[in-house]
Chains A and B, each alone.
Chain A
Amino acid sequence: MHTIDLQNITKVYDMGGDVEVHALRGVNLQIKKGEFVAIMGASGSGKSTLMNMIGCLDSPTRGDYYLDGVYVNTLDKHELADIRNKKIGFVFQGFNLIPRTTALENVELPLLYNRTERIKDPKKLAVEALIRVGLKDRMDHEPNRLSGGQQQRVTIARALVNQPSIILADEPTGNLDSVTSIEVMSVFQELNQEGITIILVTHEHDIADYAKRIIMLRDGHIIKDEPITNVRSAKDDLAALQNERNIRGLGEKEEMTL
């Protein structure tokens, strides 16, 4: 069974009058459990619409969507909210943490909105999620006292905490510098190795190369869908960068002594 099964999905936005925007034109996409998929495409290619569709934030004009075997099309807005809460972990571009609320409280939030099961100790689960993304020491910090990379890790912890079927990351490295981006990607790769399905939307090839499968969208069509044979390891890249920096740092020091 596929975790995500999109069949002939079409999305048309009615912009008023006779103007219609066809964001998706018959997309077929199946994603299995444990995959790491990068969705790529220029702006206007429909990747954000596809993302919202998969994330149950938007519903298709035509076509069928099954998430974990559940037929999403017929769910009402309350059921959609519960599905987002339980099955999907969101990581957005703009960090999207709630201000003046500690990292821990931010991560706890999806547990507090969980209506489908009784959670005995939400705090403990939130702490575990934060440890998993390597933020053990920053749990009581509010977002404005965290760096961009740290904020994005909190968001990932928040996405993880309800043990979702998939993590949806929309341009998660969009606001980060290259080193921090690779750090975040290494977190995603680790989580993927633990068996979590990850869907990543990006327009940077460097970032997409850390995924296992790449899907290219153009004008609402999938124009390319192929596995990446040579997956880059974010951890290795990070180590290499660190090395390079050390050497350069040494070089600078030598220059100074000269």
Chain B
Amino acid sequence: MKWKNLIKVAFKSIMKNRMRSLLTVLGIIIGVGAVIALVSIGQGASASIEKQISGLGSNLLMIFPGERRTGGVSYGAQSHRSITLDDYKRLEQETTLLKGISPMIRAGGQVIAGDKNWATNVSGVSPSYLEIRDWGMDKGEFITPRDVLSRRKVAVLGKTVAKELFGDQDPVGQRIRIRNIPFVVNGVLKERGQSVMGQDQDDVILSPYTTVLYRMSDGQNINTIMVSAISIEKMDAASEEIKSILRSAHKIQPGEDDDFNIRSQTDIVETATSVTGIMTMVLSAIAGVSLLVGGIGIMNIMLVSVTERTREIGIRLAIGARGGDILIQFLIEAVILSMLGGLIGILSGIGIGKLISNLINITTIVDPFIVFGAFFFSGAVGIFFGFYPAMKASRLNPIDALRYE
């Protein structure tokens, strides 16, 4: 039998029982559809996560205070105020593998400008911060070394703060009050958007770290030190260097734990990838289960079809069809059935993905590899679950099959 005829016979049989065929492949439609929809959304999401992570700044390392323990009780990360201005100064002088270094001292507060006010974070940073974070200025100037030295009360506004306090007006040169301390606006940062965690990164005021440390904080403790290594290859070496400097500064004996944590961008990327990995595994499980159920449905209906068409099989065998001809015929029918299901599933999956992305405003990426994979996998399901019924059909005894009522 030629392929053309086999495919024609298979289509005829599928179209004869349209409703039954549709219900049969529903499992495959749902499985493939769910996978395609979720993978498109998931890939869209992880693409935007990766974009944001790389937006944190290049070669970025962050040094956090460690946990505090008293008699075995842990107070959790950053409970220990172990990073100080001295640490920062020492690092600034002693490291050789860093391109830039900036402390980060956070203070919250109400900001007032004219008749408007806004609650935001004020971060004390060094002039290198802009480069470390891979950020840029929209208007005006960033903090200068002179500003740091003389603890000037100057502020650089994030886009959101600028908009909230000044609207369409140019804030550069304007006066604002932070916790009732008067500041002069030196510049406005470029818009940066949401962070990985969903925070508005533009809702911030940057000021010289000396100003924040001595006027708004305790004059000693630093929340974070941010550094950027001279290259991505030197990041591990830079991390080791920082570790040894801080360990000697803190007089930590060999064998004792660090009282600080160094985290790099790759850690964050790894976290995000592991989340994506878990999602992929969950999706594969969903796909596997629904394709299994779908496949069993196909096997079931193919067995029914073989029984219904016993007489037809008998006729075909009597007029000279070999067992193999019958096997191929039913196998092709099962494969076409499941591939049709896969096709409908792919189309509805793409549709659902688009719909959801419109509803919650995220981008979706339809990966052609996943689409082809889903299509061929559904075909493979057809072969696997269609084989037993087809085998059964091909082994019928022509005499019995012809007598079958």
B1 within 8 Å of A by Cβ? yes
**Category for how many chain A residues contact B:** 20 to 34
- Expressed in whole angstroms, the minimum distance between the Cβ of B320 and any Cβ of chain A is 2
Please tell me if the beta carbons of A57 and B16 are within 8 angstroms of each other in the complex.
no
Instruction: Report the Cα distance A136→B228, complex, angstroms.
Output: 89
B316 within 8 Å of A by Cβ? yes
A112 within 8 Å of B by Cβ? yes
Instruction: Report the Cα distance A78→B325, complex, angstroms.
Output: 11
Please tell me if the beta carbons of A84 and B399 are within 8 angstroms of each other in the complex.
no
- Expressed in whole angstroms, the minimum distance between the Cβ of A80 and any Cβ of chain B is 9
Instruction: Report the Cα distance A113→B329, complex, angstroms.
Output: 12
In the complex, residue of chain A having the shortest beta-carbon distance to the beta carbon of B311: A96
In the bound complex, residues from chain B placing their C-beta under 8 Å from that of A115 are 322
Please tell me if the beta carbons of A96 and B320 are within 8 angstroms of each other in the complex.
no
In the bound complex, residues from chain B placing their C-beta under 8 Å from that of A57 are 318, 398-399
Which of A85-108 touch B at CB < 8 Å? Answer: 85-86, 90, 92, 96-101
Please tell me if the beta carbons of A113 and B321 are within 8 angstroms of each other in the complex.
yes
Interface bits B369-405 vs A (CB < 8 Å: 1, else 0): 0000000000000000000000000000011001000
- Expressed in whole angstroms, the minimum distance between the Cβ of B389 and any Cβ of chain A is 19
Known: A98-B312, A101-B12. A113 touches B319 (CB 8 A): yes
Interface bits B1-21 vs A (CB < 8 Å: 1, else 0): 110010000001000100000
In the bound complex, residues from chain A placing their C-beta under 8 Å from that of B323 are 77-78, 81
Of listed B318, B319, B322, B325, residue having the most chain A CB within 10 A = B319
Interface bits B299-329 vs A (CB < 8 Å: 1, else 0): 0000000000001101111111111010000
Instruction: Report the Cα distance A19→B317, complex, angstroms.
Output: 29
In the bound complex, residues from chain A placing their C-beta under 8 Å from that of B320 are 81-82, 84-86, 110, 113-114, 162
In the complex, residue of chain B having the shortest beta-carbon distance to the beta carbon of A170: B402
In the bound complex, residues from chain A placing their C-beta under 8 Å from that of B402 are 92, 96
Please tell me if the beta carbons of B315 and A78 are within 8 angstroms of each other in the complex.
no
Known: A81-B317, A98-B315, A99-B312. A112 touches B322 (CB 8 A): no
Known: A57-B399, A112-B1, A112-B2. A90 touches B318 (CB 8 A): yes
- Expressed in whole angstroms, the minimum distance between the Cβ of A140 and any Cβ of chain B is 15
Which of A65-89 touch B at CB < 8 Å? Answer: 77-78, 81-82, 84-86
Instruction: Report the Cα distance A175→B18, complex, angstroms.
Output: 32
Instruction: Report the Cα distance A146→B359, complex, angstroms.
Output: 57
A109 interface neighbour in B16, B314, B316, B399, Cβ under 8 Å: B316
In the bound complex, residues from chain A placing their C-beta under 8 Å from that of B16 are 100
- Expressed in whole angstroms, the minimum distance between the Cβ of B293 and any Cβ of chain A is 30
Which of B126-156 touch A at CB < 8 Å? Answer: none
In the bound complex, residues from chain A placing their C-beta under 8 Å from that of B319 are 84-85, 90, 109-110, 113, 158
A55 within 8 Å of B by Cβ? yes
Instruction: Report the Cα distance A52→B401, complex, angstroms.
Output: 13
Instruction: Report the Cα distance A98→B318, complex, angstroms.
Output: 12
- Expressed in whole angstroms, the minimum distance between the Cβ of B153 and any Cβ of chain A is 89
Instruction: Report the Cα distance A158→B321, complex, angstroms.
Output: 14
In the bound complex, residues from chain A placing their C-beta under 8 Å from that of B398 are 57
Instruction: Report the Cα distance A57→B318, complex, angstroms.
Output: 7
A237 within 8 Å of B by Cβ? no
In the bound complex, residues from chain A placing their C-beta under 8 Å from that of B321 are 81, 85, 113
Please tell me if the beta carbons of A113 and B325 are within 8 angstroms of each other in the complex.
yes
A204 within 8 Å of B by Cβ? no
Instruction: Report the Cα distance A163→B97, complex, angstroms.
Output: 91
A177 within 8 Å of B by Cβ? no
Known: A57-B398, A58-B399, A100-B12. A112 touches B5 (CB 8 A): yes
In the bound complex, residues from chain A placing their C-beta under 8 Å from that of B1 are 112-113
In the bound complex, residues from chain B placing their C-beta under 8 Å from that of A101 are 12
Known: A84-B320, A98-B315. 13 other contacts (CB 8 A): A57-B398, A78-B322, A81-B321, A81-B323, A84-B319, A85-B321, A96-B318, A98-B316, A99-B312, A110-B319, A113-B320, A113-B322, A113-B325
Closest 8 CB pairs of A and B: A85-B320, A81-B322, A113-B320, A110-B319, A84-B320, A113-B321, A96-B315, A112-B1
13 residue pairs of the A-B complex, CB under 8 angstroms, read A77-B322, A81-B317, A81-B322, A82-B320, A84-B320, A96-B315, A97-B315, A98-B312, A100-B16, A109-B316, A112-B1, A113-B320, A113-B321
